[in-house]
Amino acid sequence: MNTELLIRMSAFLGVLGVMALWEIAAPRRQLSTPRGARWFANISVVVLDSVVVRLLFAAGAVGMAILATERHWGILNQVGWPSWLEILFAVILLDFVLFLQHVMFHAVPLFWRFHMMHHADLDCDVSTGLRFHPVEVVLSMLLKLGAVRIEGR
């Protein structure tokens, strides 16, 4: 397993585990459907999404960042900012792109059809954040790759 995947999976599973335990220990409201079946379904969706993204975009955003660095593409390869400022800029820009994507998926009827899968969960808990249509995940990855290409480094 490569380092990038190990870091991403550790962070993902760590945050998911902490949030799940928190919800079990201190539920905010009673669930209308059994947790086990919902979590299985929602986790199955994120596994499917991950497989689709890995098959279509083997190198992912990290690969695009490496390519941008090698070819001197993007804003961050044109400026001589300190590393901490480049990281801050990159995080803010990528977060802004994802915010605009979310707004777009709510506003454009065609995109809403895919995003609706996320909002169709009968209960809202940590597993709901895993529930995205594979087409939405692919479109999201394309936007992320574009943002990383623009950023560089």
pLDDT computed for residue 133 by the predictor: 96
Number of separate domains in the chain:
1
pLDDT computed for residue 142 by the predictor: 94
What's the rounded Cα separation, in Å, for the pair 53 and 45?
12
Give me the torsion for CA of 29, 133, 139, 90, rounded to 10°: 30
C-alpha triplet 78, 103, 118: angle, nearest 5°: 115
Q: Which of 68, 48, 55 is nearest to 145 (CA)?
A: 68
Containing structural domain, residue 99: 3-151
Are residues 69 and 63 in contact, defined by beta-carbon separation less than 8 angstroms?
no
pTM of the model: 0.84
SS3 of the chain: helix, strand, coil, percent, to 5: 80, 0, 20
Q: Which of 98, 76, 72 is nearest to 85 (CA)?
A: 76
Query: Residue 43 has which token pair?
Result: 């986790």
Residues in the chain: 153
DSSP 28: S
The H or E element that residue 121 is part of is: none
List, run by run, the mean pLDDT of 10-residue segments along the chain (153 residues). 82 94 91 90 94 88 86 88 92 94 97 96 91 96 92 77
pLDDT computed for residue 1 by the predictor: 53
